[in-house]
Structure 1
């Protein structure tokens, strides 16, 4: 544990109206006007986009390679920068990004210099490499890329000579992120797994704390056909003598995690036993939660995120930070924790981006996530009608997603994102029609057209929910900004 971390340990709403749509609107913040970029900033942005183009020229993120050695080889050549800071490593099927963001915000409130790596991004790749709460600056991204590129090319040549694929997009991005965090430098990195765990490129780092959000079926073609197989792959992030924090899991997932923890002599803290949400109450702009942590009780914390699942994510994050700062034996300072909660954001997760009618985006891209979205819409808002604008990628369980949304949605507008992996809108519409019936479904392949039409048609008490894929959510957020109706 670094001196900065040890030093930090010495530092020490009103009721909801019941009208969730009005509460969300009052709790939302409008963007402040921004000054135009300087010529130097424009040049840095162009250089950063060139870095992203170079990353995209590699094997894509949809095709991760089940290997660690190439990433490990580059890190060794760079002097293992991932060992220069402490790591909280987070995996799971849903809730990883929100849990990561909450944990990072708490650590930053403690005065630590934090790093945060999440994936995928909604708009720009800089979002994946966050330092002290801000996406990495274009110039820092470009400079670090210049530093690591010769080593990437060296390992590419070695791999090719051995008949293997060169470093992939995600392998190269992970190396870049680790180098950026070391260059900053950060005290602690909250590190979200890209996919799985055992062979994910991020697993060249050794997590002091291994965190598991709920595990369900997703990426079956990569991770396994059963929840047990998927949990076994994710359990690969557990390192010897680490602290393990897990959300409540199914029996088959929990068995795998406990087996892996026992093998590595790691201490396990389970939601519902070692920590839990004791109460959650709707409030303006979010909710007020009472959490029992591993080491203390923390009442009346305002969390500016909606949904029961976000309260549970917050409890997991609290337990993770307790495990990191004091091995679960020292309670967190309530005022510091409150500050950390109050500054949490989770873009693209049940996020209100427009009003009258309300426009909500949520990155639910599997049935488990869609079910959580449905519960949150019913529990946190009071809309007169809900229209789901859905677009789903071809490798997802589209039927499971639509069936989860069907009971809470008045109608569907089927569209598609600009991703080359998106299901064509007409093809997806056939399935949605079979589930929801023809009278509740319409097709509009262009997302900007779909949003414009719905915003004209619907009333101020109605809601548009854009969901089904992260790429669709990111596109909706860009449209809102470009057309100047985003909050």
Structure 2
């Protein structure tokens, strides 16, 4: 007999009966309507809204951690979750508890039903999973209450349900090709959609962008007469050196202040860039305030980003990274060459059918020698056979093995790593895959924590 679901898992199961996150509706009126019925909870605190193609979650978590180190009570909304639904709504650094989540859900559920009925009467789909999830998060933050919320945009920007707020700071991580069927087939088209989160009266903070994306973001900011603060112009990563357990940074802030010897417990040049963007976002939010070094030590020092080059097991070393598109895979490849000294690496690879799996493997093929192809439990997963063919097309020199179950794939990779000197394992290709590997590591007793 199976154990009863926790309240958080039960609420998640209810929400899964709605249109999923891969089927967003390009509309804001539905989310605005349920928020209006709830008294517009999203307007009871300032919001820092973060979009981009890669680095959104890392930048969001760093931004929230810095704000909390400043003594503010924070809310954090990210997606998707890795293991438990509650991870998506974080209050003051902790995932929302089942009891608090249930209270908010019971409060908003009648209003969600009202809007569902209105939408159906108009011939539209009822509130989607993500629209309902957004309303739940904004209501939870008001109920807490928080002093500032850091909100990661789901998909796109202009019509994403998170964009029912006028952001205090609109933040852009690097924009690249992803979700092309929904957002556009060029970087310019995708940037145009994402630029929709820029609101009157906000500050705009942007990582380095391609010329096309930079132009579009700048035009949108200038049309609304708001500051457009660019990495490399208004703030920057001055230097990054490998340190024990991460990297040591020197960052130039918005005021021109140099912040030296900042320890970031994360790997990769892209994480240094994310740290610079997060710091600039916090400086902008606080009115260009110079942040004390002890605040930076605390804020960056306590930050964790699960599933982003996370060490899951030590013997043999197994890392998990949520690289699921070519841009993310290129960042992972750069990190593997710049921060690690393995002689050989095995990749456990599972991907979704709507992702550019060939592009991911093209980016990673020179970083690994062996690939164990598998799949997650997602209905959108590539079949093992089809994905193995994609891997072989991307590189004829890799040793490729097919494993129908993820557990078999990870154990095969660990056994492979134990048979040689200086070998390691990296798991990548799907966020769902990463969450399931974390669970396998815990259940089988080789997880570090």
Q: What residue in structure 1 maps to residue 49 of structure 2?
A: 89
The TM-score normalised by the length of structure 1 is: 0.90
Q: What residue in structure 2 maps to residue 433 of structure 1?
A: 392
Comparing 167-176 with 46-55, which one deviates more in the overlay? 46-55
Q: State whether structure 2 residue 435 is matched by structure 1 residue 486.
A: no
Q: What residue in structure 1 maps to residue 427 of structure 2?
A: 466
- Distance in structure 2 (CA, Å) of the matches to 1:454 and 1:235: 42
Q: What residue in structure 2 maps to residue 240 of structure 1?
A: 200
The two structures, once aligned, show a CA RMSD in angstroms of 1.1
Q: State whether structure 2 residue 213 is matched by structure 1 residue 253.
A: yes
Q: What is the CA deviation profile of residues 174-233 of structure 1, one whole-angstrom value per residue up to 9, with x for unaligned ones?
A: 000001000000000000000000000000011100000000000000001100000000
- Distance in structure 1 (CA, Å) of the matches to 2:70 and 2:206: 23
- Distance in structure 2 (CA, Å) of the matches to 1:248 and 1:48: 38
- Distance in structure 2 (CA, Å) of the matches to 1:358 and 1:445: 23
1:273-352 aligned within 5 A: 273-295=233-255, 296-326=257-287, 328=288, 330-352=289-311
The answer as to whether partners of 1:75 and 1:175 remain within 8 angstroms in 2 is yes
- Three-state SS of the structure 1 residue aligned to 2:194 is helix
Q: What residue in structure 2 maps to residue 71 of structure 1?
A: 31
The answer as to whether partners of 2:198 and 2:221 remain within 8 angstroms in 1 is yes
- Distance in structure 1 (CA, Å) of the matches to 2:125 and 2:20: 12
- Distance in structure 2 (CA, Å) of the matches to 1:309 and 1:224: 24
The answer as to whether partners of 1:351 and 1:360 remain within 8 angstroms in 2 is yes
Q: What residue in structure 2 maps to residue 413 of structure 1?
A: 372
Q: What is the CA deviation profile of residues 41-80 of structure 1, one whole-angstrom value per residue up to 9, with x for unaligned ones?
A: x98x622221111100001111000000000000000000
Give the drift of 1:438: 6.6
1:97-176 aligned within 5 A: 97-176=57-136
Give the drift of 1:437: 1.8
Where in structure 1 do 4 or more consecutive aligned residues deviate above 4 Å? none
- Three-state SS of the structure 1 residue aligned to 2:185 is coil
- Distance in structure 2 (CA, Å) of the matches to 1:54 and 1:457: 41
- Three-state SS of the structure 1 residue aligned to 2:150 is strand
Give the drift of 1:390: 0.6
> Would you say how many aligned residue pairs link Structure 1 and Structure 2?
443
Comparing 112-121 with 431-440, which one deviates more in the overlay? 431-440
- Distance in structure 1 (CA, Å) of the matches to 2:259 and 2:192: 33
- Three-state SS of the structure 1 residue aligned to 2:247 is strand
The TM-score normalised by the length of structure 2 is: 0.97
- Distance in structure 2 (CA, Å) of the matches to 1:166 and 1:438: 49
- Distance in structure 1 (CA, Å) of the matches to 2:172 and 2:394: 32
Q: What is the CA deviation profile of residues 150-181 of structure 1, one whole-angstrom value per residue up to 9, with x for unaligned ones?
A: 00000000001111100000000000000100
- Three-state SS of the structure 2 residue aligned to 1:332 is coil
1:38-57 aligned within 5 A: 46-57=6-17
Question: Cα–Cα, structure 1 residues 384 and 439, in superposed 2: closer, same or farther, change >3 Å?
Answer: closer
Q: What residue in structure 2 maps to residue 445 of structure 1?
A: 404
Give the drift of 1:461: 2.3
Structure 2: which 5+ runs fail to align?
none
- Three-state SS of the structure 2 residue aligned to 1:458 is helix
Q: What residue in structure 1 maps to residue 351 of structure 2?
A: 392
1:204-215 aligned within 5 A: 204-215=164-175
Give the drift of 1:373: 0.1
Quick one: higher RCO (CA 8 Å, sep 6+), 1 or 2? 1
- Three-state SS of the structure 2 residue aligned to 1:408 is coil
Q: What is the CA deviation profile of residues 105-154 of structure 1, one whole-angstrom value per residue up to 9, with x for unaligned ones?
A: 00000110000000111011100000011000010111100000000000
Q: What is the CA deviation profile of residues 351-373 of structure 1, one whole-angstrom value per residue up to 9, with x for unaligned ones?
A: 11011211000001100000000
- Distance in structure 1 (CA, Å) of the matches to 2:32 and 2:303: 32
Question: Cα–Cα, structure 1 residues 294 and 438, in superposed 2: closer, same or farther, change >3 Å?
Answer: closer
Q: What is the CA deviation profile of residues 330-379 of structure 1, one whole-angstrom value per residue up to 9, with x for unaligned ones?
A: 21111111110100000000111011211000001100000000000111
